[in-house]
A and B are shown apart, each in its own frame.
Chain A
Amino acid sequence: MGGKKNRRARNLSHFESNISFRNKEAVFLGLFKEFFIRHAVCIASFVQSSQRTKAKYFASSFKTINSENFMNAKRMLLNAGTICLLATAVLLSQSALSGSASATPGDAPRKADNLKQRVKILELLQEEDDKEFLLVDASLSDLNARVEANEERCARTSKRLVETDKRAGRMKMRISENQTGRSEIRETIKRLKADLRANGIKLSD
């Protein structure tokens, strides 16, 4: 049970670690994957073409050293260019993703602080000769209605109290009547017992 609770706590704590970047990782990984695949294809085709070129080189051994050097230099330049291009692309993609990572769902602002902009708008709306702010609670007069309601309630309560008091009085009377009746019955029984004993009938106490 405790474990279940902990698991729940862990799941719930997801927000805390992702307070502003909760969509970031998914987006980043998705784009990075796409980027990687695209470049893997690019590299594969480059490797194929370079292999084909290599085969050609092996087939004809009569090429001059100068032309070989030139081709090697060209290839190296091409490789270096590709690597630089890749690195630049990775850096660019990450910096671009950083912008969208801090974006939040809903109407929340994307880049500039929307709140600041809104405050600026509010300030513009504000007249320069603004005087003292005066808020009036027109419902203060309604307090009388609330007081009346309270008084009505009090009157109802006191009426109920009077009724309860009367009922209590009646109950008291009934109790005393019952008590009187009980003592009368007791006296009658006593008399009956005495009469029976007088007539020679044995009775238990």
Chain B
Amino acid sequence: MKTTTIGILFTVLSLITFFAKPLFINEPVPEMLPDVGTKIQLVVCSATSARRSSLRNTELVNNIVNGLDDDVHVMLLVNDRAAFKDSSNNGRVTFVEIPTESDITIWPQDPFVVVNDKENTKLITPGLFKRKDDRLMATQLSTILGIEVVQSELLFEGGNIVCGESEVFIGFDTLDINSRVFETSIKEMEKRFSKLFGRTVVTIGNQSQEIGHIDLIVTPLSNNRIAVADSRQGAEVANRTLTQSPDRITRFERNCERGFFGNPTINALVDLEGNSIDCPKVVGQTKTAISDSRNLADALDKIAIQLSEQGYDVIRIPALIPNQSPESETDENPILAFPFMSYNNVLTETVANRSIVYLPQYGIAELDSAAIQCWEGNGFEVRPIEGFQTSAMYGGALRCCTKVLLRE
């Protein structure tokens, strides 16, 4: 009798302690590092040399490093260390060498996503990432920083995922392609991404994306706010400048062309495969870009309405967006012409109750100023970072170039 009693008691106690465990022990759940929040502490950038890459970005890296706060540490990925000489009096930058034979881009935002819990930081890589050798970025960082890299089977690019205080926003294309690959519904994919990133997923859009990466047009902010690009507003500002000061626009267009290869006298280069790369024609293209930007406005309005209906407080930021239609893109003629002037591709942080935004600048003063005013009007302290016109010709700006690894 007593044996049975003890046995039953033991079993009951074991069951109670097993099921009551979550009440006593708080297991840390890894969550995607948000794009909003406390002070940025550690970021990753990537620098490519002139001799190894058509899009060399040394000056841009200088602008980013010096534009960020003094105590932000930068891990700088390079595949041609010998090409770079740096100021020896600066300890803010740590070079992370990628094997010389590999080829990397200037976009560390895309090949991985950062998740962390209270104890650990991890880098999650997609099941497949085929752009150059960018997949090596995560592994090299993990070796240097001693953090774990975990490969998911899901397909994603960091640029199409932005993270708010509690939700993660994913562009429709990412969910769509995964639902096709894994033969399941979008809803199911949302659940799987939610599990992967430890946050509720909000899908941006409900049809094929007009713009490849949502981080160019959507910026989550604190207090349930979200900024969505307004290409109509951007087009109006640019059109006003074109009408009132056409010289400025021409100067901007010329600067884009001159800066494309870093040397105004160079009009064409050969890439590593021996293909010729010609300097894109930007002069005279602003008018077309304004028209294209107006055409895109409805699609962006739809996103703003969708987010507004979901309860977010949506603010609009001007943007000048050239044609994104893939029909005009061929192997010989990829879309790299007029800069994608996004003022949503930013980094934000909150320091001592001050909201700070690091804002890319492109060189059309009126448009740059309009964006600054807009951010300031929404309570942000703006830290402009110059020199994004060339990278924008390849379709990326500050967030694309800078991956936040750690916040305070």
List residues of A whose CB falls within 8 A of some B CB. Answer: 2, 5-6, 9, 12-13, 15-17, 19-21, 36, 39, 43, 46-47, 50, 75, 79, 82-83, 86-87, 90-91, 94-95, 98, 101-102, 104-109, 111-116, 118-119, 122-123, 125-127, 129-140, 142-143, 145-147, 149-150, 153-154
Contact partner of A125 (CB less than 8 A), chosen from B91, B121, B153, is: B91
Chain A CB within 8 A of B13 CB: yes
A63 to B403, CA, bound (A): 81
Tell me the dominant secondary structure on chain A's binding face. Answer: helix
Among all A-B residue pairs, the 6 with the closest Cβ atoms: A142-B51, A126-B91, A108-B148, A12-B153, A139-B83, A139-B51
The residue in chain A whose Cβ has the minimal distance to the Cβ of B94 is: A122
Q: A122 CA to B95 CA in the complex, in Å?
A: 12
Given known contacts A16-B192, A133-B66, A94 and B25 CB-to-CB distance under 8 angstroms: yes
How distant is B46 from chain A, measured CB to nearest CB, in Å?
Answer: 12
The 8 Å CB contact of B51, one of A86, A132, A145, is: A145
Interface residue B58 (Cβ < 8 Å from any Cβ of A): yes
B residues neighboring A (CB under 8 Å): 2-3, 6-7, 9-10, 13-14, 17-18, 21, 24-25, 27-30, 41-42, 47, 49-52, 56, 58, 61-62, 65-66, 70-71, 73, 76, 80, 82-87, 89-94, 115-117, 119-122, 124, 127, 142, 145-148, 150-154, 182-184, 192, 195-196, 198, 261-263, 266, 268-270, 274, 276, 405-406
Q: Are B117 and A102 in contact (CB under 8 A)?
A: yes
User: Do residues B150 and A15 form an inter-chain contact, with CB atoms below 8 A?
Assistant: yes
When distances are taken between beta carbons in the complex, the residues of chain A under 8 Å from B151 are 15
Contacts of A108 in B (CB 8 A): 120, 122, 146-148
What's the Cα separation between A127 and B71 when bound, in Å? 11
Q: A83-B6, A94-B25 are in contact. Are A136 and B92 (CB under 8 A)?
A: no
**Inter-subunit contact B85/A138 (CB<8 Å):** yes
Do A127 and B152 form a contact, CB below 8 Å, given A115-B405, A149-B270? Answer: no
- Bound-complex Cα distance A184 to B281 (A): 55
**Cβ contact within 8 Å between B195 and A90:** no
Residue numbers in B under 8 Å from A102 (CB-CB) = 27-28, 117, 119-120
Chain B residues, CB < 8 A from A17: 195
